[in-house]
Structure 1
Amino acid sequence: MFTGIVEELGTVAAVEEQGDAIRLTVEASVVLEDAGLGDSISVNGCCLTVAERTATTWTADVMQETLDKTGLRGVAPGDRVNLERAVTADKRLGGHIVQGHVDGVGEVLRRTPSEHWEVVEVSLPQGPGGDLGRYLVDKGSITVDGVSLTVVEAGERSFTVSLIPETLARTTLGSRRVGDRVNLEADVLAKHVEKLLVGGHLDALVRRLGEGT
């Protein structure tokens, strides 16, 4: 589990094609301070497992499912990526609960700079299983490329977020251009609420609570 607070910008060092998978090697420093084999690190919002590491790099295996459902398919050496280690129980939850399980890929539609912040509009994936808009509300949470953000306006086909200078400087969102693809993860709490509401699950839960079971 992650919080969506990016710890550092890493650099893709190598991408080894393996047919139905890739081996991704990333240069980093902060996330390697205590990283061991088997640990989880979020890369642009995708939870990956450390398979190898050196003093300055770590390597993960990225399977076909991840390549099909996220923007990691197009990464290349030299690309900057957002990195975050899995949260520990003694740390502050500065963002929101992020699983590192990407729900879909959106596209940057518009960037509107202001004196002290920048408003960015991102499209929502459409089609079967892609209706993420139902999980978004104004002032709710959304993860964009692994960054925990607050939704300004939630539309049916897109949403907007306001990026402060800190976010622009410390994450890849400062350099994303119109047309770039970004990984999206909706708030997992919204997904659980939806499941409870579907098929009478919520009524059954209320009855059980009333019965003290």
Structure 2
Amino acid sequence: MFTGIVEEIGTIETIQKQGISAVLRIGCSKVLEGTKIGDSIAVNGVCLTVVKLEKDGFCADVMTETMHRSSLSQVQVKDKVNLERAMAADGRFGGHIVSGHIDGTGKITEIRPEENAVWYTIEAEQELLRYIVEKGSIAIDGISLTVAAVSERNFQVSIIPHTRQETTLSVKGIGSIVNLECDIIGKYVERFVCGAPTQKESKITEEFLQKYGFC
């Protein structure tokens, strides 16, 4: 589990392609502290397992499913990536619950400065936008952010200078593809209310919720 609070910006140093899958070597320093082989590190919001540790970086396998679903399929050597170690049990929960399992990608279509903030408009598919709500949480390339507005085609976030400077949003431009992880709570609620795909009718009804004091 992660919180969406980026600890460090790393650099893609090597990419070893193995068909569609790949092995990435990422140069970094801070996230290596206390890290062991087998630990998880979020790379642009994607939970990857450390398979090799060196004094100035680590290696991680990226499987085919991850390549298909995330922007890691497009990274190149020297690209900057957001890094965050898995949350420690005694750590502060500064962002929101981030699993590191990407739902899909979005495209930055507008970047607009407003006084001390910068607004980003991100276009996404309807299957992702259904889980994005105004004032809710969204992880963009592993960054925990608050949704400022949502439309039928896109959503907007407003970034403070510190977040922009400490993450890869500072080098993203219009047309850049970003990883999106929607708030997992919304997906669980939908599952409970609508039931499994093979289930014809949900057992949770308005009457059920009223009976137990939820309405």
How far apart, CA to CA, are the structure 1 residues paired with 2:13 and 2:204? 48
Q: Structure 2: which 5+ residue stretches go unaligned?
A: 195-200
Name whichever of 158-167 and 190-199 sits farther off: 190-199
What letter matches 1:191 in structure 2?
K
How far apart, CA to CA, are the structure 1 residues paired with 2:132 and 2:164? 22
- Deviations along 1:15-68, one digit per CA (max 9) or x if unpaired, are 011113110000011100111110000000100000001011100010111111
Aligned to 1:170: 166
Structural mapping, 1:11-30, within 5 Å: 11-30=11-30
Q: Is residue 183 of structure 1 aligned with residue 185 of structure 2?
A: no
Name whichever of 49-58 and 191-200 sits farther off: 191-200
Structural mapping, 1:73-84, within 5 Å: 73-84=73-84
Contact 1:195 1:201 in 2 (8 A): no
Aligned to 2:198: none
Aligned to 2:95: 95
Aligned to 1:107: 107
TM-score with structure 2 setting the length: 0.91
Structural mapping, 1:20-169, within 5 Å: 20-126=20-126, 131-169=127-165
Q: Is residue 202 of structure 1 aligned with residue 204 of structure 2?
A: yes
| Deviation of 1:136 (Å) | 1.2
Contact 1:125 1:132 in 2 (8 A): yes
Equivalent pairs counted in the alignment come to 205
Contact 1:108 1:123 in 2 (8 A): yes
Q: Structure 1: which 5+ residue stretches go unaligned?
A: none
TM-score with structure 1 setting the length: 0.92
Q: Tell me, what secondary structure is at the counterpart of 1:120?
A: strand
How far apart, CA to CA, are the structure 2 residues paired with 1:20 and 1:174? 29
Q: Tell me, what secondary structure is at the counterpart of 1:88?
A: coil
How far apart, CA to CA, are the structure 1 residues paired with 2:76 and 2:129? 30
Contact 1:16 1:24 in 2 (8 A): yes
- Deviations along 1:137-168, one digit per CA (max 9) or x if unpaired, are 11000010000000000112100000000111
Q: Tell me, what secondary structure is at the counterpart of 1:166?
A: helix
What letter matches 1:143 in structure 2?
A
How far apart, CA to CA, are the structure 1 residues paired with 2:205 and 2:49? 39
Q: Tell me, what secondary structure is at the counterpart of 1:47?
A: strand
How far apart, CA to CA, are the structure 2 residues paired with 1:182 and 1:32? 24
How far apart, CA to CA, are the structure 2 residues paired with 1:43 and 1:32? 13
How far apart, CA to CA, are the structure 1 residues paired with 2:77 and 2:21? 16
Aligned-residue Cα RMSD (Å) equals 1.6
What letter matches 2:5 in structure 1?
I
Q: Where in structure 1 do 4 or more consecutive aligned residues deviate above 3 Å? A: none
Aligned to 1:3: 3
